[in-house]
Amino acid sequence: MKILLNFLILITLFSCATSKNKKNVKLDDVTQEDFKKADAVKYSNSSDQFSKVDMKETEALNAESIQRLEDPSDIDSKTVLDEIIVSCYEKDFKKAFELIEENHDQYRQHPIFWNQVGTCFMLQGKRRKALLFYNKALEFKTSYAPAFNNLGVMYRNEGSDQKALVAFTRSKKSNNLSKTPRFNLGNLYLEYGLYNHAIAMFKGLYNVAPSDIDVLAALGTAYLMKNDVNNSINYFSKIDDDYWARPYIGINYAYAKFLNNKKDMAKNILSEVDQKKLGSWNSYYGQIKSKVGVK
């Protein structure tokens, strides 16, 4: 399961880049308006929420992250901040950075603005620049949960799980209502077999998002690790069979059914797993396939 992003090249870079794009203006046509700087948009906590995404299967994090959406354009973009991050996830970086340059003056006091610049660089694989902008976001709001969360994602990607744990924990403490760091902490706990810790994280998410596919799968997996097969099946059974193709869902659900002596059902579920997408699940898939008796 994925670890999710929440959502300074120096100010002079924006000045230089912007000046290159300006059209030549005849001096006789210059008015006082040409010297006015765009007014800054006042920051509020509501700015950190995405516009409405009506997707039940990802409902736990729809207001905080669009990383799990198959099509980022599913978000109903109502602000330039939405447009920037959607463009980055669609890998239209040219458009994204044009929007960043054009709207710098209005949003320069917003931690979310700098956080999204960092995410654009993260998605480009430019780690040092991403780090710079995430820290810039923290300059404007020292307890900014999304920036701590994204630093955790960076550390996770680099294999520095201890640092990631600290960053995700700081993110959660910075905003106890934030769901993304809980999701990421839960997945980190699962990877290390700390199923009780994972259950605590994901149960909180389940209470507010009972239809979220990844939350259900995580709880099913955690209870399977705990050898609580009935609870595991209870959560997996809430997932539509269209999602059995996902290895982290189909394999574990099949194994839970096998342990519950429902071998035919286990074979049926396992046969739906998309073998082209096994990746790191390939070895585990082979083990469960052998146990269940699928040829």
- For residue range 90-99, list pLDDT tens digits in order: 889 999 999 9
| pLDDT surpasses 90 at 247 | yes
Q: How far apart are CA 286 and CA 295, in angstroms?
A: 10
**pLDDT for res 28:** 57
193-211 confidence digits (pLDDT tens) = 999 999 999 999 999 889 9
CATH number for the domain harbouring residue 275? 1.25.40.10
Q: What is the DSSP-derived secondary structure letter of residue 54?
A: -
Give the residue from 177, 181, 179, 157 showing the smallest Cα distance to 167. Answer: 181
Percent of the chain at pLDDT exceeding 70: 74
| pLDDT surpasses 70 at 67 | no
On whether residue 227 sits in a domain, the answer given is: yes
Report residue 78's pLDDT band, with 50, 70 and 90 as the boundaries: low
On whether residue 138 sits in a domain, the answer given is: no
On whether residue 207 sits in a domain, the answer given is: yes
Report residue 20's pLDDT band, with 50, 70 and 90 as the boundaries: very low
Transcribe 131-145 into DSSP letters.
HHHHHHHHHH-TT-H
9 versus 38: which is more confidently predicted? Answer: 38
Least confident range of 56-60, 97-101, 141-145, 176-180: 56-60
Say which residues have a Cβ less than 8 Å from residue 65's Cβ, sequence separation at least 6.
Answer: 4, 5, 6, 7, 50, 180
On whether residue 168 sits in a domain, the answer given is: no
Number of domains in the chain: 1
Average pLDDT, the chain: 82
In contact, 4 and 184? CB cutoff 8 Å: yes
CB atoms within 10 A of CB 146: 28
On whether residue 223 sits in a domain, the answer given is: yes
On whether residue 117 sits in a domain, the answer given is: no
Domain range holding 203? 193-290
In contact, 22 and 172? CB cutoff 8 Å: no
